[in-house]
Chains A and B, each alone.
Chain A
């Protein structure tokens, strides 16, 4: 327990500097603990005049948990279109909010995006906090961090979910840093634990292990989730409340300037949205054999994916890579051809509904993950599949 002795304070503010959590403030010569105090005692150690003393055991936070309510989703959008992960997170947020008898709030920043609120409501939001301003048209760290952090401090949500996209992974750690709270990355499971806290399950070590992580003494609890992991839900006639927030640009916003953004060539592939993916690895032998995969994918209305080995060899462009350092996908059917099944590859596709593996080596680890396995030469089995599917239609 931290105790303050205001009479002794000389207003030096060493404690404010020492505090990692913004847990102490000094107005003139009057120290005061804030909601963020965790009771860690760092301020006690630096105070030279005994104006702060610790009594008894470390007690944990004085943070008033009851003040934190509601589940928030950062509503990522680009050029006026909501990112699919936003809708997926809303589906999860709805479930968590129902378990906590709380509301779902979507935080929407951008320019000319006011009309997106309806879509957020239909996917589970009760309320949209909308900041619509030209300088927010493209995501930039500084203004987004500043505005979202301010809203969080003002409204005190219990949980904040953010997509693990390049945008979300740029923003989320800055927010957690400002709020001095915990952030769990790339969660695949989120549930409310017996004590009401958020249990966050995520893969680490390249998918070799899973860890369940909690943020016991800090609020809000923050998590990022990769696209394609959660399920979007639709509530046909659901409506909600839109709250407009006025914001203005600040000088610090300009430290990073966007010069240009160019769509990458061949970016038409959208593996995250594909229902069927036919992927090839080093076992396809040479680049021209990927034509076979294209043909098969064409017949199944699917897309072509690749292992990192195939991408590193230059057989396929990087935006086709599936795995830890590529895309995370969850199609109905995933066909792995000539892919050994390294954990880093599995990390990107193991939650597919049906996994079909074609590999020459019966001991290949990919068979451990497969729903159906075929031991044999992919260069013979795939043409056979193609001709039979052709004959069938």
Chain B
């Protein structure tokens, strides 16, 4: 057992959790859930002066599909025993997201927070997260949201799997653990459902259709948000040089950000229902579209 994991187990023991027996813990399912703190997208605006994103005052939430991933992890833990560790990379305030994850029932949380991590694209985000996962060392299953609502790329999950050389299953809408350490995963594809079997350890990305996440247990706030349960790791803890991190190491560069071209304000058709219908049909005929 790696020292870091011993560390986590110790933390677990000290907390009020019900795992008295470390051995038992080792024989059960250890799950890592990646959690991204995101702005509530609909409200993000561009500052017309600086042409950059205005995030101040925009409420932050746990990325919706990460909530689904966490729910799936908690359900598996409840059925089979084990641990759920929430892992996030972000600025110090991403701690709020992890506190919420703990209130939902995660056992432990790790926040990767360091200026050196800032500006990472998906490759470098996945690289940094995967190094943290290697440090956590003991895991059977990694669950990610399919897609974050801000960056919107759906690339981080598969890229983590790539760095850890794990099999991946994307677009999961159902999970079932089989004896012998494999999972049956139901995937939602464009116009079909697919069932696959994957041997653990593996990485799964889940969609919002997999479950209905529970609400954080607010009665447990004080207990769950016990400081000891959130580890904060920096670049130094991961033993990574600046050159491999953040904006500088990222192969993609955002050159320009701008407001989408909204179609010109449309022509309003006046009149009562009958007149409107008549005018519209005439216009569509004139344009030869009907």
- Residue of A173, A263, A369 with highest tally of chain B CB at under 10 A: A173
Determine which of B195, B199, B263 lies in contact with A355 in the assembled complex, contact meaning CB atoms within 8 Å: B263
Tell me the chain B residues, 10-24 only, with Cβ under 8 Å from chain A: none
Determine which of B150, B162, B197, B268 lies in contact with A373 in the assembled complex, contact meaning CB atoms within 8 Å: B268
Closest approach, in angstroms, between the C-beta of A169 and any C-beta of chain B?
5
Q: Give the segment of B107-115, B167-175, B219-227 that binds chain A.
A: B167-175
Q: Give the segment of B74-82, B84-92, B118-126 that binds chain A.
A: B118-126
Number of interface residues of A (CB under 8 A): 89
Is A392 an interface position by the 8 A CB rule? yes
A181, closest chain B residue (CB): B251
CB-based contact B259/A210 at 8 Å: yes
Determine which of A325, A380, A392 lies in contact with B281 in the assembled complex, contact meaning CB atoms within 8 Å: A392
CB-based contact A261/B255 at 8 Å: no
Residues in A neighbouring B194, C-beta threshold 8 A: 258, 260-262
CB-based contact A371/B260 at 8 Å: no
A263–B121 alpha-carbon span in the complex (Å): 35
B121, closest chain A residue (CB): A182
Is B1 an interface position by the 8 A CB rule? no
CB-based contact B155/A185 at 8 Å: yes
B interface majority secondary structure: mixed
Is B44 an interface position by the 8 A CB rule? yes
CB-based contact A384/B276 at 8 Å: yes
A263–B269 alpha-carbon span in the complex (Å): 42
Tell me the chain A residues, 37-55 only, with Cβ under 8 Å from chain B: 40-42, 45-46
Is B161 an interface position by the 8 A CB rule? yes
Is B180 an interface position by the 8 A CB rule? no
Is A102 an interface position by the 8 A CB rule? no
CB-based contact A374/B257 at 8 Å: no
Determine which of B187, B243, B276, B283 lies in contact with A40 in the assembled complex, contact meaning CB atoms within 8 Å: B243
User: Binary interface profile of B, 48-76, with partner A (CB < 8 Å = 1, else 0)?
Assistant: 00000100000000000000000000000
Residues in A neighbouring B258, C-beta threshold 8 A: 209-212
Closest approach, in angstroms, between the C-beta of B50 and any C-beta of chain A?
13
With A209-B53, A209-B259, A376-B273 as contacts: A367 and B196 at CB distance below 8 Å = no
Is B209 an interface position by the 8 A CB rule? yes
A257–B122 alpha-carbon span in the complex (Å): 27
B64, closest chain A residue (CB): A325
Tell me the chain A residues, 126-162 only, with Cβ under 8 Å from chain B: 141-142
Determine which of B124, B150, B168, B254 lies in contact with A170 in the assembled complex, contact meaning CB atoms within 8 Å: B168
CB-based contact B53/A173 at 8 Å: no
CB-based contact A177/B254 at 8 Å: no
With A385-B277, A385-B281 as contacts: A259 and B196 at CB distance below 8 Å = yes
Residues in A neighbouring B260, C-beta threshold 8 A: 203, 207-210, 350
With A208-B42, A209-B44, A388-B281 as contacts: A372 and B269 at CB distance below 8 Å = yes
Is A239 an interface position by the 8 A CB rule? no
Residues in B neighbouring A285, C-beta threshold 8 A: none
Is A357 an interface position by the 8 A CB rule? yes
Residues in B neighbouring A229, C-beta threshold 8 A: none
CB-based contact A389/B281 at 8 Å: yes
A212–B256 alpha-carbon span in the complex (Å): 5
A368–B265 alpha-carbon span in the complex (Å): 5
Is A25 an interface position by the 8 A CB rule? no
With A381-B276, A384-B277 as contacts: A374 and B268 at CB distance below 8 Å = yes
A369–B268 alpha-carbon span in the complex (Å): 12
Is B41 an interface position by the 8 A CB rule? yes
Is A184 an interface position by the 8 A CB rule? yes
Closest approach, in angstroms, between the C-beta of B150 and any C-beta of chain A?
5
CB-based contact A203/B152 at 8 Å: yes
Is A96 an interface position by the 8 A CB rule? no
Residues in A neighbouring B123, C-beta threshold 8 A: 176-177, 180-183
Residues in B neighbouring A373, C-beta threshold 8 A: 266-269
CB-based contact B255/A367 at 8 Å: no
Tell me the chain A residues, 330-383 only, with Cβ under 8 Å from chain B: 332-333, 342-344, 350, 353-357, 367-377, 380-381
Is A274 an interface position by the 8 A CB rule? no
19 examples of A-B residue contacts, CB within 8 angstroms:
A42-B241, A170-B158, A170-B171, A173-B153, A183-B153, A204-B151, A205-B41, A205-B152, A206-B152, A209-B258, A255-B199, A261-B189, A355-B263, A369-B266, A372-B267, A372-B280, A374-B268, A384-B277, A392-B281
Residue positions of B touching A, CB distance < 8 A: 39, 41-42, 44-46, 53, 121-124, 126-127, 149-159, 161-163, 167-171, 184, 187-199, 202, 208-209, 241, 243-244, 248-263, 265-269, 272-274, 276-278, 280-281, 283-284, 287, 289-290
Residue positions of A touching B, CB distance < 8 A: 18, 20, 40-42, 45-46, 58, 141-142, 165-166, 169-170, 172-174, 176-178, 180-186, 199, 203-218, 255-264, 267, 300, 318-319, 324-325, 332-333, 342-344, 350, 353-357, 367-377, 380-381, 384-385, 388-389, 392
